[in-house]
Amino acid sequence: MAEKKTIGQEFRKGLLTENPVLRLVLGTCPTLATSTSMVNAIGMGISVTLVLLCSNMVISLLRKVIPSKVRIPAYIVIIASFVTILQLLVKAFVPALDAALGVFLPLIVVNCILLGRAEAFAGKHPVLASAADGLGMGIGFTAAVFCMATVREFFGSGTLFSGADSLLGLFGWTSFTGVDVFSHIPGMEPILIFILAPGGFFTFGLLMACANRIAERKGRQKAQLRDCASCPMAAGCALRADNETEKEGAEA
């Protein structure tokens, strides 16, 4: 029988031991696409965290009401509702961020981190634990995307926090627009490949290697892109159970 975790443990697991990007290898598409600048990474991270927190809580509240056969469509409707609210708020108050994130903001609906946490955790646990799980996973996602964006923006553009006024404008502070680091270092030129797709995959690989190294030192399994069995959520995943049942039925 699995050991029951405290609320604090549920929150902390998403930060490193079960980081959704570096350990569970989920949500790689928005991670690679929005990590070209630190401001975009912060905006996407906050957006995903808010939707993840709210959807986890609502799904947990309704977990005994939603019929098992329609749980996935129900989860998607709940997630899509919060994404729509978030998108309208971003369009109204931070239009520059909405333009920068583009289609990846509404595509939070199909981000596998949200559906994965709804299916593997929120649909089986109480509200407080689900809220802690959602918040921890959201912050873990934000931290991973922010680390990637820091490396990619610094080497690819030679700047840090470029376009920060688009976020800080919410608080009436528009004077800070970022730091042009390379302009103060003679002879330094941006390495443009870092803000292109190959640079994204290269940075992602380096961060995953660091996360695997830390996990190895703590005696944990490495994150590997193989099958469901290698996923830390496999034991409690209803999707995997359904797939195995269908496979057994087909073989019979």
Sequential DSSP letters for 64-106: TTS-GGGHHHHHHHHHHHHHHHHHHHHHHH-HHHHHHHGGGTG
pLDDT at 49: 96
Residue 137, domain member (yes or no): yes
Taking phi first (over 0 means left), then psi (-120 to 50 degrees means alpha), and beta for anything else, what does residue 19 get?
beta
Q: Which domain holds residue 23?
A: 7-172+190-224
Residue 47, domain member (yes or no): yes
Residue 67, domain member (yes or no): yes
247/10 Cα distance (integer angstroms) = 32
Residuewise pLDDT in 10s, the chain (252 residues): 445 678 888 899 888 888 999 988 898 999 999 999 999 999 999 999 999 999 999 999 999 999 999 999 999 999 999 999 999 999 998 888 898 888 899 999 988 899 999 999 999 999 999 999 999 999 999 999 999 999 999 999 999 999 888 887 777 777 888 899 988 888 888 999 999 999 999 999 999 999 888 878 877 666 655 445 444 445 555 545 555 555 555 554
Count CB atoms within 10 A of the CB of residue 16: 18
7/62 Cα distance (integer angstroms) = 20
pLDDT at 236: 52
Residue 230, domain member (yes or no): no
Reduce the DSSP state of residue 124 to 3 states and report it: coil
Q: What is the pTM of this model?
A: 0.84
CA 230 to chain centre: 19
Cα angle 75, 60, 88 (rounded to 5 degrees) comes to 55
> Number of structural domains, the chain?
1
To the nearest 10 degrees (0 to 180), the angle between helices 38-61 and 127-157 is 170
pLDDT at 1: 40
Residue 160, domain member (yes or no): yes
Residue 211, domain member (yes or no): yes
128/133 Cα distance (integer angstroms) = 9
36/30 Cα distance (integer angstroms) = 11
Residue 210, domain member (yes or no): yes
Residue 247, domain member (yes or no): no
